[in-house]
Structure 1
Amino acid sequence: MSRTEYREALGLSTATLAKLGKDQYVSMEVLEKTCRHFNVPLHEVVVFELEENKEI
């Protein structure tokens, strides 16, 4: 599936697709749509890595 097909299938904006490509924050709604579309659990879609010396 191409990025464009993925964006269209889930009804995502081009801005959201760009954020995904840059490893930036996206909403839980986007993650939920992705999981439901591909019928996979969240841990198959998300990797959480702590960055050293980064304040929250």
Structure 2
Amino acid sequence: MLWWALTFFVIAIVAAVFGFGGIASASAGIAQVLFVIFLVLFIVAMIARAVRGRTP
């Protein structure tokens, strides 16, 4: 999922360079949403691992 967030971020940067404002803002928005989802899932996984008593 982090890969998709990075992919949409790169698309947003390229679109912004070429002046496609709508595409750039849409891609940036998708990248932000995917990054937040990835971050939440990562935190949940770390908490679940800590509750089970496993060490990292």
Shared fold by TM > 0.5? no
The alignment's TM-score, normalised by the length of structure 1, stands at: 0.29
Whichever structure has more helix as a proportion of its residues is 2
The alignment's TM-score, normalised by the length of structure 2, stands at: 0.29
**Structure of greater Rg:** 2
Q: Which has the higher contact order (CA 8 A, sep 6+)?
A: 2
